[in-house]
Amino acid sequence: MTLLDLIMESQHDLVEYLTQLMNGVKGLRRRCDQLTDMHALSSPCGRGAVQEQEFGGWRSMTFDEGARHLGLSKQSARKVVKELE
């Protein structure tokens, strides 16, 4: 096997691996949409709910960390929290 053959085989394996990862992300997006619709949540709430359900939480997140993670201002994050209550 030549060096070029090894490179080509590695590239092929990498493409297969990345395809699997992309399919996994698509599945999580579908699940996120399902949960968001099922619970009538806004998009930020749905993302947070999916992350917690699919991956679990290993520690409590502060309010500021949650807002930053969702890409929301503190004011918008407060609205999301009120929606979840």
Domain ranges of the chain: 3-84
Q: Which two tokens stand for residue 51?
A: 């992350």
List C-alpha distances in Å: 53 to 12, 32, 46, 66, 82. Answer: 33, 10, 10, 15, 20
Instruction: pLDDT tens for the chain, 85 residues: list them.
Output: 899 999 999 999 999 999 999 998 888 778 777 777 776 666 666 666 666 666 665 556 677 877 787 778 888 878 877 776 6
What pLDDT is stored for residue 80 in this prediction? 75
